[in-house]
């Protein structure tokens, strides 16, 4: 009796079967070959997708650092003309965050795995319908404004005299065709103007249609003009149409030269560099100091983004002391490189006094 396996029951003897006729030859690819072809196509497709498909994220990481006391591309980062300056030593290093846009799927994964970068939704940095050029222009404008604020804050701290000038004049407003940008404002509505807030105070209690006098100086000529206040939005007071700003009333120039950098967070380091160059001694004690912080023209230091990346960049640049805006202290403590001193800063004056304390071996505010 034969089994279907070709082995007789009760024995291990193999029973020979008649040799079947040869199968007809198949034409085309075999099933195994098709499987290999499809698998390779899938792998290739995934590779192309990962290498070329863009993800809606940007990569953030440590950016370049710049010593504001030295030169970049052969030019002083902070250059003061027609005024005595004093020698400096050590570094006052501003830190930046790099932002990588147009990231592929594989590129994003690679940056994230490296541990030096973080991914963030692109919409946090680029609003819908906003082009990269528009964002770049905004960052450049913020950087330029930070330079102006740093200059005013530094010279105010050093007790140089201030003046109020017209930064912008609204077209069609009461001041249009009367005041020009850069005119110095001396008095509004019979009240002297010593700081930009005085302009708003002088217009309190007025209403649209009221006539007020404006005294201003253009170049060396002092002029007075009467204007009729207008109306804007839901404001109760009359609208003049001038954006007043504080500027230092000095006869020397400060030029800050640094390209390819955007954003406002270098203001604190620019201000410190100006103070250092205009005063005897070395503000940093000849040591390597880094930091960050947005600054307004009153010297107030505001919080910034990317503090953890900036501290990494400072550490790699050799800085042992890092100036931290007070609003970033909690985050900074969690990511500070080992051995780095964190100096808590709320105002420009805090940064100056803390550096002096460090040089003298005294206590200073920390995070």
Catalytic residues: 265, 310
Using CA atoms, how far apart are residues 69 and 246, in angstroms rounded to an integer? 25
Q: From CA 303, how far away is CA 293, in angstroms rounded?
A: 6
The pair phi, psi for residue 346, each rounded to 5°, is -110, -30
d(CA 166, CA 353) in angstroms, rounded, equals 33
Quickly count: other Cβ atoms within 10 Å of residue 354's Cβ. Answer: 21
Q: How large is the angle between the packed helices 267-278 and 348-360, nearest 10 degrees?
A: 60
Contact between 331 and 303 (Cβ < 8 Å): no
Could you list the beta-strand ranges (E) of the chain.
57-67, 71-72, 75-76, 78-81, 91-100, 118-121, 162-169, 184-188, 191-192, 211-218, 221-228, 242-248, 253-256, 288-291, 294-295, 301-302, 321-325, 341-345
Closest CA to 302 of 345, 351, 342: 345
Helix 132-157 / helix 348-360 crossing angle, nearest 10 deg: 60
């Amino acid at each position: 009796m034969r089994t279907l396996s070709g082995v007789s029951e009760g024995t291990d003897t193999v029973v020979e079967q008649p040799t079947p006729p040869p199968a007809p030859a198949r034409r085309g690819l075999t099933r195994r070959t098709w499987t290999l072809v499809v698998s390779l196509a899938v792998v290739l497709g995934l590779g192309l997708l990962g290498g070329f498909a863009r993800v809606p994220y940007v990569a953030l990481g440590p950016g370049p650092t710049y010593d504001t006391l030295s030169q970049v591309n052969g030019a002083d980062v902070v250059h003061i003309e027609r005024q005595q300056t004093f020698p400096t030593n050590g570094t006052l290093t501003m830190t930046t965050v790099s932002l990588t846009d147009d990231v592929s799927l594989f590129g994003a994964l690679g940056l994230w795995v490296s541990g030096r970068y973080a991914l963030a939704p692109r919409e946090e940095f680029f609003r819908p319908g906003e082009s990269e050029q528009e964002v770049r222009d905004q960052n450049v404008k913020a950087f330029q404004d930070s330079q102006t604020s740093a200059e005013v804050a530094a010279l105010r701290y050093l007790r140089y005299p201030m003046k109020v000038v017209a930064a912008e004049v609204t077209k069609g407003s009461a001041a249009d065709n009367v005041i020009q940008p850069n005119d110095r404002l001396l008095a509004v509505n019979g009240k002297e103007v010593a700081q930009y807030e005085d302009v708003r105070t002088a217009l309190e209690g007025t209403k649209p249609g009221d006539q007020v006098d404006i005294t201003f100086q253009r170049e060396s000529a002092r002029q007075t003009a009467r204007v009729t206040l207008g109306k804007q939005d839901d404001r109760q007071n009359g609208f003049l149409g001038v954006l007043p700003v504080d500027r230092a009333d000095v006869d020397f120039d400060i030029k800050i030269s640094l390209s390819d950098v955007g954003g406002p967070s270098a203001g604190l380091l620019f201000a410190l560099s100006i103070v250092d160059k205009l005063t005897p001694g070395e503000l940093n004690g000849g040591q390597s100091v880094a930091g960050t912080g947005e600054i307004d023209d009153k010297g107030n230091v505001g919080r910034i983004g990317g503090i953890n990346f900036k501290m990494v960049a400072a550490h790699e640049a050799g800085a042992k002391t890092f100036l931290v805006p007070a609003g970033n202290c909690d985050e900074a403590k969690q990511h500070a490189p080992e051995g780095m001193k964190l100096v808590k800063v709320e105002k420009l004056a805090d940064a100056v006094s803390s550096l002096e304390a460090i040089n003298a071996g005294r206590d200073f505010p920390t995070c």
